[in-house]
Amino acid sequence: MRKMTLKERYDGVIAWFSENMPSPETELHYDTPFHLLLAVILSAQCTDKRVNIVTPPLFEAYPDAAALAAASEEDVFNFIKSVTFPNNKTRHLIRAAKVLMEEFGGEMPSDIEGLMKLPGVGRKTANVMLSVVWDKAAMAVDTHVFRVSNRIGLTNNSKTPLATEKTLMRHIPGDVVPKAHHWLILHGRYVCKARKPECGNCGIKGWCRSYANEMKKNSGK
């Protein structure tokens, strides 16, 4: 049997998701770019479900960067104490708001360099903001994107998130990248799970390197 080319794999995966998940969106709730930034910072090593529980009162208390920049750590901590690493995230939120006020006039920067000047914002968070808010061709690589890309065979034993990002950006058309980010996250969250991938429920198993290897092993060939 002829080995699938990398282009065929990408084309197949993109075509399936385009048909079956045409309008994927972040599962984080937000109403403004500033509030999305807060939610993404809070979501580091924490579930979106938990973040969505704590953000409504946080957003109401701090509608903009000016309000949060003037807040006390104690007050902010009380809003987010049930998320992971609340002490660090409290400091990041307040400091990010202060930098927004001091360096950007309270407006959200729309480039990766500007975003990464904000405390608590690394490359992944910056790319989320670029793709979700401005629909830019930016690929945020979280644990799901990293795992799924390698398992499917979109990457080849990629060692770092940056290497994964560069490979995906090289092969996915720019206008598809913002959607592809969500496709891979949602697929990893609900189907291609870390410990027990649900291959029986997977629509892209026909293009999956890991699934093909498993079938080959089971057939004894």
Alpha-carbon distances of 17 from 10, 131, 153, 170, 179, rounded to whole Å: 11, 17, 16, 18, 9
Point out the catalytic residue in the list 98, 142, 179, 205: 142
| Residues 157, 10: Cα–Cα separation, whole Å | 16
**Catalytic residue list contains 124:** yes
DSSP string, 195-208: SS--GGG-TTGGG-
| Residues 140, 37, 19: CA angle, nearest 5 degrees | 45
CB-count exposure of residue 123 (10 Å: 0-12, 13-18, 19+) = middle
| Residue 183 tokens, joined | 């496709």
DSSP string, 158-184: --SHHHHHHHHHHHS-TTTHHHHHHHH
**Catalytic residue list contains 142:** yes
Alpha-carbon distances of 63 from 35, 38, 87, 164, rounded to whole Å: 8, 11, 21, 35
Point out the catalytic residue in the list 98, 124, 179, 205: 124
| Residues 120, 37: Cα–Cα separation, whole Å | 10
Evaluate whether 119 touches 95 at the Cβ level (below 8 Å). Answer: yes
Residues with catalytic function: 124, 142
